[in-house]
Structure 1
Amino acid sequence: MPVRKAVVTAAVGLHARPAAVFVRAVTATGLPVTISKDGRPGVDARSLLEVMTEDFECGCQVELAIAAEALPARYSLAEAERALEELQNVLESAAAA
């Protein structure tokens, strides 16, 4: 299962605009990404409502993951890893801030 850790850098956390930027980036990958923190079950990172209700505040570390069995056949594990790296960059850049 491809997994990547990231830190939320948006001052308001993943609420409103930063969450929308992140969810659009996830949706653009075409991959079933989950996002979680503190060992809690992950939520669908393609769902703005789920992301906004999880309380991903500024400075928290999150885990982005794609279950290997959920990986579409047209994607390799290396492509999934690259997609998670790009999503990590979105969370940790000014694009989501």
Structure 2
Amino acid sequence: MIERTDLNNEDKLELLFELQTQLKMSGQNTVPVNDVEARWMQNKQGLNEVAYNVESAVGTVSKLICAVKVSQKPTGHYELLEIVKNAINNINDEPEYVSADTGYHT
């Protein structure tokens, strides 16, 4: 039961609809009520926490962040191509090499 006093009944119904939509989209059993677009993700300590997945690309010469992407997906699977395209677009140059961790193995 949602007991937020700052929401009227119409707002509560809208929130419930959004929660239902996010449950279907995410495939998870629960979604956080306070941030319905966030996802339950396992942190480095093996605990589940409400989070977003931030992907970034850094230039090896400039040491600057070339691209950033925030995702609802709990892993980096299938994210590498998009972040590389964004980095190429932002620096207006194609890299000679791309290095990625094992989270991108797909």
Taking structure 2 as the reference length, the TM-score comes to 0.27
State the structure with bigger RCO (CA 8 A, min sep 6), 1 or 2.
1
Rg larger for: 2
Q: Which has the higher helix share?
A: 1
Taking structure 1 as the reference length, the TM-score comes to 0.29
